[in-house]
Amino acid sequence: MVREVAEARLVVPANTRPRVSVIIVLYGRADMAIPAIAALIANSPPCFELIIVDNASPDDALELVSSRVVGATIVRNSLNVGFSAGVDVGALHARGEFLLLLNSDVFVEPGWLPPLLAALDRSPSLAGVSPVLLNIDGSVQEAGSLLFAGGVTRAVTSADRWALDFSRTVPYVSAACLLLRRSVFTKLGGLDCVYGLGYYEDVELAMELDHLGLSLGYVAGSSARHVHGASSSRERAMRRTVHNRAIFARRWQSRLDELPPATDHLTASAEVRARDAFAVDRVLIIDDRVPQTDRGSGDPRMATIATRLAALWPAARVTLLGASLDGADRYAPALLAAGVEVAACSFDGAQRWLEQRAGHYSAIIISRTDNLLRFREMVERTQPLALIVADVEAIYSRRTAMRATVMAASDPALAASCAEEAVRQREVELEGWNWAQVAVCVSREEAAEVRAVAPGTTVHVLPPVARAPERLVPYAERSGVVFFGGFMGGEASPNADSVRHLVDDIMPLLWSRRPQLALTVAGSDPTPSILSRAGERVAVIGRVDDPFHTLGARLVHVVPERFGAGVKTKLIESMASGTPFVTSPIGAQGLHLGELARHLVADHPAQFAEMTLALLDDPDLWRFVQRGLAGLAEQHFSPLVLDRTLVELMADLGAAPPLGP
């Protein structure tokens, strides 16, 4: 393969305004360099320039490379000035916004560059990023690296899929394939040449960046293969490593003394401590499970909170612990790619997991009231210094008490059981809210209730969020009515009760006026009672990939919720998608409807039918409501609102504001 590549002309794409300046320092081994350049050209978008710096190769490598590669800038040094100086010379010729330091024995793989650029575009505090480096056989050579006391380094080589899929800040990364902001590189004066021919200049760079408050990142989804040591013997490399480590350790002794010691056997606990040594803020989120973003029950909100925390504070460590393995493999990858570490295990496994990370976290967000009780003892024992945040995803005692009222006439025994459960839930809520230093609620109404019974707890409002689609579908392109919501809670859930009430009590009134009106019931895990109501005019379609597409195809979203708590994500998504809804006073809680409520909030089946028909039959009213709801979604439930509240929350937890826009 090397011979075939070497005999072909390799043309670097002409680029008057390159975004990336690729710098390859050459010292012999054209048999490696030419295939590496071929891989760069074949697997990269045409947004780069190539700068080859020859460090006085002892063989004919320069002649071979220059005769095969067309369009590269070639710089000839009269002697081997070492890797750092070679890179610095190459950077003087660079025009790109970013510099890519690329070893001549690294072969980038298809799709390697866009994820790296995207990571830097998202995070101003990231100065540089690296892909996973693989050995030629495909095994992991480096997925970021660790730094220990005394300057000892160790590559992360875990073959665990979740570890490889976890994009994160790291103590340092090898300069074998490192994409850097040229502005930061220039501010530092380039790579430090004190390390001679090579080794430890990349670790020095990491420490200099840390001193400036900047970070390096490992980016999942980007990969390159590295021969490793092709231009130097193992013995020479070891001598240089030992020599340069001593220089590095003297320079950074005070900072290195803060790091964990290196050991012959690296335990999982020691690896985590070394990995997160540079992360001042370490936030753990505990929830029932890894958020299942298409199934409701507060899961989409929690996934959004976790990913926004990781995006706003990329130098922090945000970890989500799901106390169940259910669905973890399916839903974890999106969180990992967004920079959220994910762990999933049983409750007993969670205890062992927390013990392995004893004293590691600065703040712990515990979602759902029962989890405050379940995890309190182990959190107090393993994380005694962490600030505790109670995420009041919903006030369950209120919802259960409402259900008792609804069931009183039809099922007195069930109503009595619900009333008893509501009392138990209230006791747990009061204990948990008063234990936490901070609480977050989904609405102002619920925040006021928490403040009243937990006066020593700081309370923030952190509602669900919905992003508006690029286009609001107009009236003329829609038809029918819809109920959208997940049924994870089973037959006793508010959503299951709502659909039964809708089909049995409200739709007959609508069908008496509009016999052909179609109802679509969408949402994951429809229960037997929901499936049994499917028919000619009722379509139960189950899970949908895109709620905005489903909502945007219907004229009215009907949500006759008779008991519940919190703010309903399905109605916020309805607002953002421009789909008018009719709901109950319980469903309308926390939505800031104002004057729109007189068109949208119904108390009984006949009123539900009349309000729904008014929207179906009056396009002008429908458009008025659509505009009003979309405006309220932008004002109260947009990502910008969430970000502002997260900044306030993190300030209470001791975190500095995020860097840059």
Concatenated DSSP letters for 244-263?
HHHHHHHHTHHHHTTSPPP-
Judged by DSSP in three states, 239 sits in helix
For the domain 475-637, what is the CATH superfamily, name and number? Answer: Glycogen Phosphorylase B; (3.40.50.2000)
The answer to whether residues 200 and 241 touch, using CB atoms and an 8 Å cutoff, is yes
Instruction: Express the helix, strand and coil content of the chain in percent, nearest 5 each.
Output: 45, 20, 35
Of 455, 460, 524, give the one whose Cα is nearest residue 496. 524
Predicted pLDDT of residue 402: 83
Of 10, 18, 63, 262, give the one whose Cα is nearest residue 150. 262
Query: Is it true that 282-465+642-652 and 475-637 share their CATH fold?
Result: yes
**Contacts of residue 363, Cβ cutoff 8 Å, sequence gap at least 6:** 281, 282, 283, 284, 386, 387, 388, 389, 653, 654
Domain ranges (residues) in the chain: 2-275, 282-465+642-652, 475-637
H/E stretch holding 400 reads helix 396-407
- Asked if residue 381 has pLDDT above 90, the reply is yes
Predicted pLDDT of residue 4: 46
Kindly report, residue by residue over 224-260, the tens digit of the pLDDT: 999 876 555 677 778 888 888 889 889 989 898 888 8
Long-range contacts of 624-631 (CB under 8 A, 24+ apart): 625/580, 625/596, 625/599, 625/600, 626/472, 626/475, 626/578, 626/579, 626/580, 628/596, 629/574, 629/575, 629/578, 629/579, 629/580, 629/581, 629/596, 630/468, 630/472, 630/575, 630/576, 630/578
- Asked if residue 289 has pLDDT above 80, the reply is yes
Distance CA 88, CA 191 (A): 6
Average pLDDT, integer, range 363-380: 92
Of 130, 10, 19, 17, give the one whose Cα is nearest residue 74. 10
Distance CA 377, CA 355 (A): 12
Kindly report, residue by residue over 15-65, the tens digit of the pLDDT: 889 999 999 999 988 888 999 999 999 999 999 999 999 998 889 888 898
What predicted TM-score, i.e. pTM, was given to this entire model? 0.83
A 10 A CB-CB count for 203 gives 23
Distance CA 279, CA 18 (A): 33
Average pLDDT, integer, range 156-173: 83
- Asked if residue 601 has pLDDT above 50, the reply is yes
- Asked if residue 3 has pLDDT above 50, the reply is no
- Using pLDDT thresholds of 50, 70 and 90, give the confidence band for residue 159: low
CATH classification number, 282-465+642-652, choose in 3.20.20.540, 3.40.50.11010, 3.30.200.20, 3.40.50.300: 3.40.50.11010
With vertex at residue 530, the alpha carbon angle to CA 529 and CA 531, rounded to the nearest 5 degrees, is 95
- Using pLDDT thresholds of 50, 70 and 90, give the confidence band for residue 266: confident
DSSP letters, 462-496, are: -----PPPSSPPPGGG--SEEEE---TTGGGSHHH
The answer to whether residues 322 and 287 touch, using CB atoms and an 8 Å cutoff, is yes
For the domain 2-275, what is the CATH superfamily, name and number? Answer: Spore Coat Polysaccharide Biosynthesis Protein SpsA; Chain A (3.90.550.10)
10 Å CB burial of residue 429 (0-12, 13-18, 19+) is buried
- Using pLDDT thresholds of 50, 70 and 90, give the confidence band for residue 165: confident
What does DSSP assign to residue 655?
Answer: P
Q: In what order do the strands lie in the sheet with 538-542?
A: 538-542, 519-522, 481-484, 556-559, 581-583
With vertex at residue 16, the alpha carbon angle to CA 14 and CA 21, rounded to the nearest 5 degrees, is 80
Predicted pLDDT of residue 8: 76
Q: Which two tokens stand for residue 594?
A: 């104002």
- Separation in Å, CA 56 to CA 52, 196, 260, 458: 12, 15, 40, 65
- Asked if residue 548 has pLDDT above 90, the reply is no
Long-range contacts of 189-194 (CB under 8 A, 24+ apart): 190/84, 190/87, 190/88, 190/91, 191/83, 191/84, 191/85, 191/87, 191/88, 192/84, 193/81, 193/82, 193/84, 193/85, 193/88, 194/247
Of 220, 232, 227, 221, give the one whose Cα is nearest residue 136. 227
The answer to whether residues 658 and 647 touch, using CB atoms and an 8 Å cutoff, is yes
**Contacts of residue 254, Cβ cutoff 8 Å, sequence gap at least 6:** none
The answer to whether residues 643 and 309 touch, using CB atoms and an 8 Å cutoff, is no
The answer to whether residues 25 and 61 touch, using CB atoms and an 8 Å cutoff, is no
Q: Give the gyration radius of the chain's Cα atoms.
A: 29
- Separation in Å, CA 602 to CA 297, 406, 506, 562: 23, 16, 11, 11
What does DSSP assign to residue 386?
Answer: -
Average pLDDT, integer, range 215-227: 93
Average pLDDT, integer, range 261-289: 87
The answer to whether residues 219 and 167 touch, using CB atoms and an 8 Å cutoff, is yes
- Separation in Å, CA 74 to CA 23, 24, 26, 68: 10, 10, 10, 12
Predicted pLDDT of residue 1: 39
Bridge-based pairing of strands 458-461 and 438-441 is parallel
Kindly report, residue by residue over 334-351, the tens digit of the pLDDT: 999 899 999 998 888 898
Q: Which two tokens stand for residue 301?
A: 């909100």
User: What size, in residues, is the chain?
Assistant: 661
Identify which has the larger pLDDT, 165 or 320: 320
Kindly report, residue by residue over 82-110, the tens digit of the pLDDT: 888 999 999 999 999 999 999 999 999 99
Of 265, 266, 249, 269, give the one whose Cα is nearest residue 257. 249
Bridge-based pairing of strands 317-322 and 140-142 is unpaired
**Contacts of residue 185, Cβ cutoff 8 Å, sequence gap at least 6:** 91, 99
Average pLDDT, integer, range 177-196: 92
pLDDT above 70: percentage of residues in the chain: 97
Average pLDDT, integer, range 148-154: 89
Query: What does pLDDT average to over the chain?
Result: 90
Distance CA 68, CA 61 (A): 11
Helices 347-356, 268-275: crossing angle, 10 deg rounding: 60
- Using pLDDT thresholds of 50, 70 and 90, give the confidence band for residue 527: very high
Kindly report, residue by residue over 462-488, the tens digit of the pLDDT: 888 888 888 889 999 999 999 998 888
